[in-house]
Amino acid sequence: MLDFLRPKNVVCTYCQATDKEGVARTLSAVAGSLSVTWHTAACPHYAADLILAAGSGSGTGEIRQP
């Protein structure tokens, strides 16, 4: 449970954004751990995450920007 409370920051392999310059983030919770991937607003991986979230049935598909 404690691992879930400490998210792992993941650098996007396409845009290389981090929490310092990234403007959008996606969250993933798998096997009891949480990861946060940062993206630039124009990153195609961010666009793909939005599409996948919309089709997953897990909510509105909206991924919020900080």
Classify residue 38: in a domain, yes or no.
yes
Task: Tell me if 22 is assigned to some domain.
Answer: yes
- C-alpha 7/C-alpha 3 separation (Å) is 7
Domain count, the chain: 1
Whether the predicted pLDDT of 56 surpasses 60? yes
> Is residue 15, in this structure, part of any structural domain at all?
yes
**Given this model, what pLDDT does residue 61 score?**
47
Strands, E assignment, the chain: 8-11, 24-30, 33-39
Residue 25 included in any domain: yes
> Rounded to an integer, what is the distance from CA 10 to the centroid of its chain?
9
Query: 3-54 pLDDT, tens per residue?
Result: 556 788 888 999 999 888 878 777 887 777 888 888 998 999 989 888 888 8
Q: Which domain holds residue 33?
A: 2-55
pLDDT grade for 60, boundaries at 50, 70 and 90: very low
Cα–Cα distance between 59 and 53 in angstroms, integer? 7
On the question of pLDDT at 2 being above 80, the answer is no
